[in-house]
Amino acid sequence: MATGCAYRLWRAGFDVVMTELPRPLCIRRTVSFAQAVYTGRLAVEGVRAVLVKAEEITAVQAGGEIPVVIDPAGELVRSLRPWCVVDARLAKVNPGTSRDEAELVIGLGPGFTAGEDVHVVIETARGHFLGRTIYAGAALPNTGVPGEIAGRSGERVLRATGAGTFQPLVEIGAQVKAGQLVARCDQKPVIAAIDGLVRGMLHPGLEVSPGLKVGDIDPRGDRDMCCTISEKARAVGGGVLEAVLARLSGREPVSTGLPVLFTS
């Protein structure tokens, strides 16, 4: 989701800096700038991100790339004082983000309240309101149920079957069958529940806990979806871009007029 936002902002001409954890748990590694933490550099749809130290940010931006900085404590927000901060952690609760961090602070999905802890909330739930900019109230509450794709929901998500070291046994882009062994958590098997294409898989060697999402099978089976930003991330990124441009143009609305839809 963060990559979709960074991509659309960068394409629109904004300088972007991304912060990451030392061991990101990104699933869609082929289209996530977080993967630069492991590989040093990654290109997504022609936009390149590179892992750097804080003092290298300006040079990397001048070279037309997006800097990715390991910053688990959020020190860069305090030292850089950016004009806009986007909290794309999707923690489902506010991990400590506040409106005083920047002139414009945007939170993705549930856990934030526009007008209180952030200026704008972007709807992340699949459906009619996906990507909507919310200026009063919150996004739809987290249901814990993955969004439906081609009639499949929870069964398309691969989850850790126990604690231990994660080891994928198939590559992203592979076609798999229901019942196939696709990964292990130490010696505990992870089995595909449906036929489809492996669209995402956790980085090898990470320590996982039981129930953690470790992969994603797409029943549509289109390999192009492994190397392009998803429709959901693109829509959410469009919402972020809209919020940024609305603030700059002075056309930012006072209220959505429908806050109750996002707090019930």
pLDDT tens-place values along the chain, 264 residues long? 999 999 999 999 999 999 999 999 999 999 999 999 999 999 999 999 999 999 999 999 999 999 999 999 989 999 999 999 999 999 999 999 999 999 999 999 999 999 999 999 999 999 999 999 999 999 999 887 777 777 888 899 999 999 999 999 999 999 999 999 999 999 899 999 999 999 999 999 999 999 999 999 999 988 888 899 999 999 999 999 999 999 999 998 865 443 333 333
Spell out the domains of the chain, with CATH numbers in brackets.
2-143+231-262 (no CATH), 154-219 (2.40.50.100)
Contact 246, 253 (CB under 8 A): yes
pTM: 0.90
Q: Tell me the H-state helices in the chain.
A: 2-11, 36-39, 57-62, 75-80, 231-249
In percent, the amount of the chain with pLDDT more than 70 equals 96
Question: Helix count (H) and strand count (E) of the chain?
Answer: 5, 16
pLDDT digits (tens, 9 = 90+) for 79-112: 999 999 999 999 999 999 999 999 999 999 999 9
One-letter-per-residue 3-state SS of 71-117 = CCCCHHHHHHCCCEEEECCCCCCCCCCCHHHCCEEEEECCCCCECCC
DSSP secondary structure code for residue 186 in this structure: T
Q: What is the pLDDT of residue 260?
A: 33
Give the pair of three-digit tokens for residue 224: 């192009």
Instruction: Decide: 208 and 185 in contact? Cβ < 8 Å.
Output: yes
What's the pLDDT tens digit per position in 127-144? 999 999 999 999 999 887
Please list, in sequence order, all residues whose beta carbon lies within 8 angstroms of the beta carbon of residue 126, skipping any fewer than 6 positions away. 147, 148, 232
